[in-house]
Structure formats: C-alpha cells, structure tokens
Amino acid sequence: MAREDAIRHHVDRAFEELDRARSAATPEAAIAHLGLSELHLGRMKALSDAPDTRPALKLVASDT
C-alpha cells in the first residue's frame, strides 16, 4: 500500500470511529470508539511525519 493510501485509510477509519462514537448506545462503547479513532490518527501522524524512504532517482543523459 502506498504511503498516501495508508494515510488516507487511517484518516477514513478515524472518522468512521468518530461517527460510531456519536451513535454508540453506551458511554463505554463511545469511549472505546474514541480510543480507536485516536489510534488511527496516531498512525496517520506517524506515517505523515516519517521520512520518505523511497530511493532518490537521478536523471542521466544517454551518450548514445
């Protein structure tokens, strides 16, 4: 999964968990969903803050 796709996945899941927290039947369930949302936001932040590990590419001129 590409880095941008992984970030988008965690953002989407965080919002889904917030929606579930709002519609939870009990305070305990709402707290659990808020916790899951925080975990997804934390993972999104970690992916966003991580240095880009792709190899640097250089354009070279062909002698032919």
Residue range 7-46, pLDDT digits in tens: 999 999 999 999 999 999 999 999 999 999 999 999 999 9
What pLDDT does residue 55 have? 72
| Cβ-count burial 21-59 (b if 16+ within 10 Å, e if not) | beeeeeeeebeebbebbeebbebbeeeeeeeeeeeeeee
User: What pTM was estimated for this model as a whole?
Assistant: 0.74
